[in-house]
Amino acid sequence: MTDFSELFGRRSPVPLPGAPEMVTSKAVTAIGQRWQCQRCRQWIAATDRLPNGDWYCRTCLQLGRLTSRDRLYTIPEPNRFARLVMGGLTWHGRLSARQMQAAQAVQKHALAGQRQLLWAVTGAGKTEIVYPALADALARGWRVAWVSPRIDVCLELAPRLQRDFGGVEQCVLYGGQPVPYHYCQLTICTTHQLLRFDQAFDWIIVDEVDAFPLATSPMLQVAIDRAQKTQGSCLYLTATPGERLQREIRQGKLAVTYLPLRYHGYLLPPLQLKISWRWRQQLGRGRLPAGLQRQLRLWWTARRPFLVFVPHVADLPVVMAVLMKAGLSGGTTVHAADPERQAKVQAFRAGNYRFLLTTTILERGVTFPKVAVAILGADDPVFSTAALVQIAGRVGRLATDSGGQVLAYCHSNARTVQRARNMITRLNRQGRRQGGRPC
Amino acid sequence: MLTCVWCGRSFAPAITVTMIWQWRPLPQPALCATCHDRLTPISPQHCPQCGRQQTTVEVCRDCRRWHDNLRNRAVYRYDAGMKAYMQQYKFQGDYRLRLGLQEALRLALEQVDYDILVPIPIDERTWQTRGFNQVTGWLTGQPFQQALAVTATHKDRPQSAKTRQERLLTPQPFELVAGASDLLANRRVLLLDDVYTTGRTLRHAAQQIYLGGAKAVTSLTLAR
Ligand SMILES: [Zn+2]
Ligand SMILES: [Zn+2]
Ligand SMILES: [Zn+2]
């Protein structure tokens, strides 16, 4: 028997001849005077017509070009999976009482098919909190996707799920993935990849839901809705929900489970504000704020690994040159388009670099033991309130960490910085009520 | 603010004093500064035959092996940046990316003396699937003659999928279109192609153009 599973719940431009129940539709359709792509649901610009007369979609070009000549093929999702023992769970760790309480709430909402949010501070152990609900879903034969707008988050998550759900077949999808797609019960992928799915999933877990580019992309929001079955639901995970989700909570449209304390019971490190007047002009003359340079030297001498966040990629070589001149060697720079990005992050974690200079790409999803953090230009608009809270959350993640600091150097006390400090204070107040201790 | 056709970010075009002195509408760049810098123009220090970037102006080793007098100029180096551009434009089929290099090609064509411009053609199947000729996509109203066609019997793997040895052994893929000789007789022809790799394609094309009666054939490629 030929295997047609590749089209189960998919939206593919390549048909499988002879497949029963295969549904097909045009990839790009005319609606009135305009053309719309049926994979990403975006309008095609009037100028994006090829000389041979076809229209093509630029928005989802990275997934392979679709033109008005193409068709999309789907086989409705049949949930054809083998029965799993324990939902495939092979994790032997234990949840704390607080985590367990949250885990049960998540499981209850998932079973009821409710849209829900798990609002857990950075370092609360949110991945493990989802495990009981995930095992339960998989044991019921649900098809599940664990997605994130950030490729780093997917890459860090995939090996963990492979280890902790050893009994479940999984695949990992992102732009440039080395292994081709295959049909399986648990899919880990970027939100972009959901554009290739059509009513496939009973449950979608959206990790770091407030991260770029999902928060600002209506296309990706639609992708999540369309990849989900009509009776399916989703779970959002974040430490810093945006205004839209917070409003939905207040309006009672979104179930929420709240975890204000890190798994080890320590509070979040506060964001310390350091006013550095005209730091940008100083940097232009090849100087860092004196306080920052002194602080970095202290960390460097004490062999504490540290991250320095700067607003723009162009700032990286400038700051690096200053540090080299000051004799702080053994560090490197990382940015989004850096081909060695993954390798450098791994090397820093392994202790092969003494510090990393980076942009907001390392704001979330990464854990470095004993790390300290400085943000140069925390008042720059690229650092949103959520980004600042996430960056602060890189510090003190492990129970064995202590004394890690988060220092924000800015020209002025911007509203984003103020809000981030307030959010941390508010979370810590709640955490203290649950018995949290300062780190 | 303009939107960069390659990276999609918005940017403010740089305006220099010389541009203002030229007293004509300021050109609207299609690429932002960052994307513009991903491509490396070839300096005057290049091989006089194939146009490859070198430190000298001597005929390069590859060209000496051809024992002929082909004369090619190339605008950019075929480096990582240009490969990324070609990947998106030609292989992913992002036709809008043509806008990114139209101005550079316009300036390059102004530097060359020729009577007739002949772009390298694509075969029927590519026309159906890709939907455009990547070479003519860069033209902005410069007159050209599609004097060459890919022979109907020429069924072949793409050049980019072959080794150098295989490329060199490729049989003649082009023929003259009907009436081409009337156009070409005694004219100076400039062939236009995207990338000069081994020079095999351009030499096949030049051979046919000479058969059509051209007086001289030179070529221009976007990359070498
Ligand atoms: Zn599309
Ligand atoms: Zn650009
Ligand atoms: Zn040469």
Q: Say how many Å lie between the CA of residue B75 and the centre of ligand 3.
A: 14
One digit per residue, the tens of pLDDT, for chain A of length 439 reads: 578 999 999 999 999 998 989 999 999 999 999 999 999 999 999 999 999 999 999 999 999 999 999 999 999 999 999 999 899 999 999 999 999 999 999 999 999 999 999 999 988 899 999 999 999 999 999 999 999 998 888 988 999 999 999 999 999 999 888 899 999 999 999 999 999 999 999 999 999 998 888 888 889 999 999 999 999 999 999 999 988 898 999 999 999 999 988 888 889 999 999 999 999 999 999 999 999 999 999 999 999 999 999 999 999 999 999 999 999 999 999 998 888 988 899 899 999 999 999 998 888 878 899 999 999 999 999 999 999 999 999 999 888 887 789 999 999 888 999 999 999 998 899 889 888 888 7
Q: What dotted CATH number matches A271-433?
A: 3.40.50.300
Question: Do B31 and B124 fall into the same domain?
Answer: no
**CB spacing of A56 vs B95 below 8 angstroms:** yes
**CB spacing of A56 vs B133 below 8 angstroms:** no
Q: How many CB atoms lie within 10 A of CB A182?
A: 12
Question: Do B91 and B112 fall into the same domain?
Answer: yes
Question: Do B15 and B51 fall into the same domain?
Answer: no
**Complete DSSP assignment for B19-56:** HHHT-SPPP--SS-HHHHTTS-B--S-B-TTT--B-SS
Question: Do B18 and B46 fall into the same domain?
Answer: no
**CB spacing of A51 vs B92 below 8 angstroms:** no
Question: Do B54 and B33 fall into the same domain?
Answer: no
**Could you list the residue range(s) of the whole structural domain that residue B30 is in?**
1-37
Of A47, A51, A58, the CB nearest to B94: A58
Ligand nearest to the CA of B6: 2
Which pair of tokens denotes residue B156?
Answer: 């072949």
Question: Do B79 and B1 fall into the same domain?
Answer: no
**CB spacing of B92 vs A65 below 8 angstroms:** yes
ipTM rounded to 2 decimals: 0.90
CB A362 within 8 A of CB A390: no
> If you measure CA to CA, which chain A residue comes closest to B95?
A50
Closest CA to B138 of B105, B93, B160: B105
Shortest Cα–Cα distance, A66 to chain B (Å)? 10
Question: Do B10 and B78 fall into the same domain?
Answer: no
How far apart (Å, rounded) are the C-alpha atoms in residues B30 and B83? 18
Q: Is B91 on the interface with A (CB under 8 A)?
A: no
Question: Do B80 and B118 fall into the same domain?
Answer: yes
**CB spacing of B133 vs A51 below 8 angstroms:** yes
Ligand nearest to the CA of A64: 1
**CB spacing of A52 vs B93 below 8 angstroms:** no
Closest CA to A79 of A184, A223, A226: A184
How many independent structural domains does chain B possess?
A: 2
Question: Do B4 and B26 fall into the same domain?
Answer: yes
Of A54, A61, A62, the CB nearest to B131: A54
Q: Is B127 on the interface with A (CB under 8 A)?
A: yes
pTM (2 d.p.)? 0.84
Domains A86-259 and A271-433 share a fold: yes
Which pair of tokens denotes residue A253?
Answer: 């449209």
**CATH assignment at residue B192:** 3.40.50
Q: What is the DSSP letter of B211?
A: H
What residues does the ion ligand 2 have nearby, CB within 5 Å?
Answer: B 4, 6-7, 32, 35
Question: Do B144 and B212 fall into the same domain?
Answer: yes
Chain B residues lying within 8 Å of A52, measured CB to CB: 127-128, 131-132
How far apart (Å, rounded) are the C-alpha atoms in residues A304 and A370? 7
**CB spacing of B95 vs A50 below 8 angstroms:** yes
Query: For domain A86-259, which architecture applies?
Result: 3-Layer(aba) Sandwich (3.40)
Which segments of A45-200 are extended strands (E)? Answer: 71-74, 116-120, 144-148, 170-173, 186-190
Ligand nearest to the CA of B35: 2
Where are chain A's structural domains? 1-76, 86-259, 271-433
Question: Do B31 and B50 fall into the same domain?
Answer: no
Shortest Cα–Cα distance, B61 to chain A (Å)? 32
Chain B residues lying within 8 Å of A50, measured CB to CB: 93, 95, 130-132
**CB spacing of B128 vs A65 below 8 angstroms:** no
Tally C-beta pairs within 8 A across A and B: 34
Q: What tens digit of pLDDT does each residue of B118-148 get?
A: 999 999 999 999 999 999 999 999 999 999 9
Question: Do B22 and B99 fall into the same domain?
Answer: no
Q: How many CB atoms lie within 10 A of CB A142?
A: 20
Which pair of tokens denotes residue A362?
Answer: 């390392």
In single-letter form, the type of residue at position B175 comes to E
